[in-house]
Amino acid sequence: MSCLLYLDQNYLSGIAKHKPAFAELEPVLREAVARGVLVVVESAVHERESAPRPDLGLLELLRGLSGGRRLPDDPDAAARDVHRRMADAMEQEFPERRRRAGDEADLEALAIALTRCELVGSDAFMADVIRRTRLNLRHRCEVFSGRRADVLALRDRLRELVMHHGVMVEDNKRLVRRALEEIYTKGDLELANELVHPDFVDHEPAHPDHPPGPESVKQTVRDLHSAFGELRFEVHDEIGEGDKVVQRVTMSGRHAGPLMGRAPTGKKFAVRHMYIWRIADEKIVEHWGSRDDLGLLRQLGLL
């Protein structure tokens, strides 16, 4: 699942001007977005605050990162509560500080961001206000100020997300390979209870009546092993991205049992399949397949 990141104008300006710490943050930020582990979000405040200085290109920079993803324009009850708490803290804990023209816009944007995003980058003052009110803890949001140490801390946090994503993708590949080898090939039906999600859905048109959950996989495996012997799945290509794994596979075996009302021919076959698997909670939760059933029937002499 992707993390949501809100960056205020201070952060966008630092990136646009290639300030030292921000220059180190930018490539990691872009990699995290490209890998799909991070979603940068826009707000209505970005548009208003960018309007006076179009020459800086902050809105274009932001949209290049966000892809148009946007926070709600109107605050809900939680955001209104955050706005009130932050405004009160500013008055009570910083009485000597004079209100600035951009304070209200910052409050408006941050109130929504804190309730919606896992990561928030803001100017040093607003980050201090958030931490003093403990709103970051209340809403389980990590806050990073524009101070050099915090900018580099955000860089390191995004590196962690990218590394974890790589580990997760490899774990997903191992999970799918294990299911293909031990459940589908060897027929270990009990293992389906461990590897298949209770809400599993098979989207193959050939399986419209299958029940949800591990029982769906068990039924598919029973059908395969009743019709075919020496069953084997050879994975030629495997691509993992986010919560999905895509495989290009050759399914091979021998026609050893009844198939579509036809007696076994004893003939061998090898056909290409494409599979897409989705993983949730470390279990297989969805499957799509594209199969060469016509090629199978031709090889078996059933056409």
- Give 217-249 pLDDT, tens digit per residue: 999 999 999 999 999 999 999 999 878 999 999
- DSSP H helices, the chain, are 9-16, 20-34, 44-50, 58-66, 77-93, 103-116, 124-133, 135-138, 148-178, 192-195, 214-227, 293-299
Closest to 91 measured CA to CA, from 102, 103, 81: 103
Tokens linked to 129: 């206000």
Is pTM beyond 0.85? Reply is: no
- The pLDDT mean for the chain works out to 94
pLDDT of residue 205: 80
- Burial label for 195, CB within 10 Å (0-12, 13-18, 19+), is buried
Domain with CATH 3.40.50.1010 in the chain: 3-146
- Give 75-131 pLDDT, tens digit per residue: 999 999 999 999 999 999 988 888 888 899 999 999 999 999 999 999 999 999 999
Provide the percentage of residues in the chain whose pLDDT is more than 70. Answer: 100
The rounded distance, in Å, linking the Cα atoms of 280 and 298 is 37
Q: How many CA atoms lie within 13 Å of 165's alpha carbon, on the beta-carbon side?
A: 22
Q: Is the pLDDT of residue 206 over 80?
A: no
User: Dihedral, CA atoms, 84, 87, 93, 98, nearest 10 degrees?
Assistant: -170
Q: For residues 85 and 93, is the Cβ–Cβ distance under 8 A? A: no
Domain with CATH 3.10.450.50 in the chain: 171-299
- Give 136-155 pLDDT, tens digit per residue: 999 999 999 999 999 999 99
260: pLDDT confidence band, cut at 50, 70 and 90? confident
Q: For residues 267 and 252, is the Cβ–Cβ distance under 8 A? A: no
286: pLDDT confidence band, cut at 50, 70 and 90? very high
Q: For residues 66 and 41, is the Cβ–Cβ distance under 8 A? A: yes
Is it true that domain 171-299 has CATH number 3.40.50.2300? no
The rounded distance, in Å, linking the Cα atoms of 142 and 109 is 16
- Give 6-32 pLDDT, tens digit per residue: 999 999 999 999 999 999 999 999 999
Question: How would CATH label the architecture of 3-146?
Answer: 3-Layer(aba) Sandwich (3.40)
67: pLDDT confidence band, cut at 50, 70 and 90? very high
